[in-house]
Amino acid sequence: MTAPNVQGSIRRRLTILLTLGAAGLAVVVFFLIQSVAREIAQSSQDNILSASAISIIDSARIDTDGELSIDLPYSSLSMLDSVTDERAFYAIDLDEDFLTGYEMMPRPRPSVENSTTYTSATFLGSEIRVASVNRTISMDDRIAILTVSVAQTLNGLEQTLAQIRSGALTLGIGFFLVTAGLALVIARTAILPLRRLTESVSRRGPKDLRPVAAPVPLEMEPLVSSLNSLMQRLDTSLSRSEDFIAEAAHRLRTPLAIVRTRADVVLRRSETPQNREAVQDIIRAIDESSRAAGQLLDHAMVTFRADDLTRESLDLKTLAIDAIERIRPIAEMRDIDLRMDGGIDRNISGDQILILNALHNVLDNAVKYSSPESLITVSLSQDGTSASVSVSDQGQGFGKDVPTLMAKRFKRGDNTQNIVGSGLGLTIARDVVTAHGGTLTIENIKEGGACVSLFWPLQP
């Protein structure tokens, strides 16, 4: 049987794709959690910075002398220390003039009046977040813009984000492991209908070409339809071939028998050696054709019955005796003695017609290839869970050919040129034994001759 051209695995491919998808989702989840956490933390810090700056700018007053005074509230900066262990800075500007705080602190200037602006910068070796709030105030001689900037370091924020990042990494790995496990389950489940279809078809016999009737997924419908169509065509082709072989063999038998009878009459009336030799060649050809037609018919019958065995309890010894008695007249014509040795006490289960046919073909071969006035021994034995029938002869054996090849169709030894045969006898016996779950062995005997053994499973 030709090995299929296998390229990849659907389950492996599906598993890899789903696992890669799971890995991609895990990475997205990791970065999404980080982004959302940073945005929430930044927004929270910005709100606190903005509230601190607003509380400072709300404390600004114009005194009776028209001077600006700011009473820096304690809560404006203490609210920053209460959230995280961070350093806080501030700066207050009136228009372009610095009033108080940290003059070198980076700070944005809101471009819109009465608005809040946020920025990130570096100050005194630390990353800071700055919120600037401005407000328009009326002085005695002019309108001025008061800007209050409040800043806070980001060390605590980065530590919090690092913890969140670690948690997100753990969550991402867990998510990947769970989804990878689900991918394996999904891939295995996805190919179950295909596996069930494969098992359903593989359990069938070589002649079981019924359409697949089991329910299948929508995606497998074209495959099953094509398979059913192929099996229907094969069934039709095999039926036609078997019918043709059986009909041809049947129709050949009667004409060949008539020609054989006429040839015998001509042989008896022939006077010259040349005519007698020619008629003998004709008779030989007729015998070969008749035997081939008969065994082709037997082979077609075995092929037909092997897939639907009529099993019954059978006594193997009785069957062997029956086969011996059927072949005995032919053996006696050549002065060949048939003997039986041994016996078994348990029955086998099988098709009586097929088993008799197999035994008959093996015995017929033994008689045909044995020398006149020789002995053929039929031995029955039991070994464990099987029973065997061995047919040993004192003929010429299988020659130089490997004995195990003799059971192939139309295969004959290299020492059978002068013996009528078709090369189907052992093939039929092997097919029958195989259909019953047994085996057939062929070997040469050292003292001369051959031994064919048929092993049958014993009935439980």
Structural domain includes residue 329? yes
Q: How far apart are CA 79 and CA 48, in angstroms?
A: 8
Looking at residue 256, its amino acid is L
Structural domain includes residue 282? yes
* pLDDT the model gives residue 180: 83
* pLDDT > 90: percent of the chain: 0
Structural domain includes residue 233? yes
What is the average pLDDT value for the chain, to the nearest integer? Answer: 79
Provide the pLDDT confidence category of residue 410 given band limits of 50, 70 and 90: very low
**Which residue among 123, 147, 168 closes a domain?**
168
Structural domain includes residue 187? no
Q: Are 363 and 320 in contact (CB under 8 A)?
A: no
Q: How far apart are CA 324 and CA 321, in angstroms?
A: 5
Structural domain range at position 253: 205-308
CATH number for the domain that contains residue 399: 3.30.565.10
* pLDDT the model gives residue 175: 83
Q: Name the pTM for this structure.
A: 0.46
Model pLDDT for residues 77-93, shown as the tens digit of each residue: 666 655 556 788 889 88
More confident of the two residues 285 and 317: 317
Domain count of the fold of the chain = 3
**Which residue among 281, 308, 335 closes a domain?**
308
Looking at residue 35, its amino acid is S
Q: Are residues 97 and 211 in the same domain?
A: no
- Here the tokens at position 296 are 């082709």
Q: Are residues 314 and 399 in the same domain?
A: yes
Q: Are residues 164 and 227 in the same domain?
A: no
Structural domain includes residue 438? yes
Q: Are residues 297 and 342 in the same domain?
A: no
Structural domain includes residue 211? yes
Model pLDDT for residues 237-278, shown as the tens digit of each residue: 777 776 776 666 666 666 767 777 777 777 777 778 777 778
Structural domain includes residue 194? no
Phi, psi of 190 (to 5 degrees): -65, -30
Provide the pLDDT confidence category of residue 289 given band limits of 50, 70 and 90: low
SS3 label, residue 180: helix
Q: Are residues 387 and 452 in the same domain?
A: yes
Q: Is the pLDDT of residue 378 over 70?
A: yes
Q: Are residues 378 and 417 in the same domain?
A: yes
* pLDDT the model gives residue 420: 47
Q: Are residues 302 and 322 in the same domain?
A: no
Q: Is the pLDDT of residue 139 over 70?
A: yes
Q: Are residues 18 and 133 in the same domain?
A: yes
